Structure 1
Amino acid sequence: MPNGWKVAFVLNVLGLSYESIYLEKADIKGPEHIKHNPNGRIPTLIDHKNDDFTIWESGAILLYLIDTYDTEHKISVADSREKALLHQWLFFQTTGQGPYFGQSSWFQHFHPETLPSAIVRYQNEARRVLGVLESVLSKQEYLVGGKLTIADIAFVSYNNVIKFVIEEDFDFEGEFPKTFEWHTRVTAVDGVRKGLEERLKLITEETKVQKSSLS
Structure 2
Amino acid sequence: MLPIKVHVIPAGPNPWKPVLILEELGVPYEINSFSFEVVKQKPFIDINPNGRAPAIEDPNTGITLWETGAILLYLIEQYDTKHVLSYASLNEKHLCNQWLAFQISGQGPYFGQAGWFSALYPEKLPSAIARYNNEVQRILGVLDGALAGKQWLVGDKITFADLAFTVWNDRIDMLILCAPDKKFEGFPNVAAWRARMTSRPVWKTIMETRGWLMDEQGLQSNGMPKGINSFEEYEALIKAQAEKAGKV
Q: What TM-score does the superposition give when structure 1 sets the normalisation length? A: 0.92
Q: Secondary structure at the match of 1:210?
A: coil
Distance in 2 (CA, whole Å) between partners of 1:169 and 1:44 is 32
The 10-residue stretch of structure 1 (56-65 or 192-201) with the greater mean CA deviation from structure 2? 192-201
Aligned to 1:210: 226
Distance in 2 (CA, whole Å) between partners of 1:101 and 1:173 is 14
* Aligned partner of 1:54 among 42, 59, 64: 64
CA RMSD, Structure 1 to Structure 2 (Å): 1.6
Q: How does 1:3-22 map to 2 (within 5 A)?
A: 3-22=14-33
Distance in 2 (CA, whole Å) between partners of 1:121 and 1:173 is 18
Contact 1:86 1:151 in 2 (8 A): yes
Q: Secondary structure at the match of 2:15?
A: helix
Contact 1:102 1:165 in 2 (8 A): yes
Encode CA deviations 1:96-132: one digit per residue, 9 max, x unaligned: 0000100000001211211011001100000100000
Contact 1:100 1:125 in 2 (8 A): yes
- Counterpart of 1:40, as a letter, is G
Structure 2 gap segments, 5+ residues each: 1-11, 228-248
Q: Does 1:167 find its partner at 2:216? A: no
Encode CA deviations 1:50-97: one digit per residue, 9 max, x unaligned: 12x101111110110010011100011111111111011001000100
* Aligned partner of 2:92 among 70, 82, 89: 82
Q: Does 1:185 find its partner at 2:196? A: yes
Q: Secondary structure at the match of 2:190?
A: helix
Distance in 1 (CA, whole Å) between partners of 2:192 and 2:17 is 19
- Counterpart of 2:118, as a letter, is Q
The 10-residue stretch of structure 1 (105-114 or 116-125) with the greater mean CA deviation from structure 2? 105-114
Q: How does 1:106-185 map to 2 (within 5 A)?
A: 106-169=116-179, 171-185=182-196
Q: Does 1:2 find its partner at 2:18? A: no
Q: Which of structures 1 and 2 has the larger relative contact order (alpha carbons within 8 angstroms, sep 6+)?
A: 1
Encode CA deviations 1:3-57: one digit per residue, 9 max, x unaligned: 0011111111111111111122232111211111111111000001212x10111
Q: Does 1:29 find its partner at 2:45? A: no
Q: What TM-score does the superposition give when structure 2 sets the normalisation length? A: 0.80
Structure 1 gap segments, 5+ residues each: none
Greater share of helix: 1
Distance in 1 (CA, whole Å) between partners of 2:36 and 2:175 is 21
Distance in 1 (CA, whole Å) between partners of 2:135 and 2:67 is 22
Q: Give the % identical residues.
A: 43
Distance in 1 (CA, whole Å) between partners of 2:149 and 2:35 is 42
Q: Does 1:100 find its partner at 2:103? A: no
Distance in 2 (CA, whole Å) between partners of 1:181 and 1:199 is 23
Contact 2:44 2:51 in 1 (8 A): yes
- Counterpart of 2:47, as a letter, is H
